[in-house]
Amino acid sequence: MKNLIQLGFAVLLSLNSLTANAQSKNIKDNSLLWEVSPSQHTIYYISYALLVVVSSYYLFGFYKFYKQTELYTGNTKNSLWKIYHELRLNMERYQSFGFLLLPHFLVTIGLAIYNMMEKHGKSLTELTFPQQLGLIITVLIGTLGVIISIVLWTKYIYGKSAKQLENILNEMDE
30 versus 90: the higher-pLDDT residue is 90
CA distance 13 to 10: 5
Beta strands in 60-122 (DSSP E): none
The whole-number pLDDT of residue 145 equals 94
Q: Is 143 buried (19+), middle (13-18) or exposed (0-12) by CB count in 10 A?
A: middle
Helix (H) or strand (E) holding 137: helix 129-154
159 versus 16: the higher-pLDDT residue is 159
Does residue 27 contact residue 95 with C-beta atoms inside 8 Å?
A: no
Residues of the chain above pLDDT 90, percent: 22
The whole-number pLDDT of residue 124 equals 80
The whole-number pLDDT of residue 30 equals 44
CA distance 39 to 124: 16
Q: 21-71: per-residue pLDDT in tens?
A: 444 444 454 444 567 777 888 888 888 888 899 899 999 988 888 888 777
Confidence check: pLDDT of 95 > 50: yes
Residue 99, C-beta contacts closer than 8 angstroms, at least 6 positions apart: 147, 150
The whole-number pLDDT of residue 17 equals 52
156 half-sphere exposure, CB direction, 13 A CA radius: 6
DSSP-assigned letter for residue 39: G
The whole-number pLDDT of residue 41 equals 83
Q: How does residue 156 score in pLDDT terms, banded at 50, 70 and 90?
A: very high
Confidence check: pLDDT of 18 > 60: no
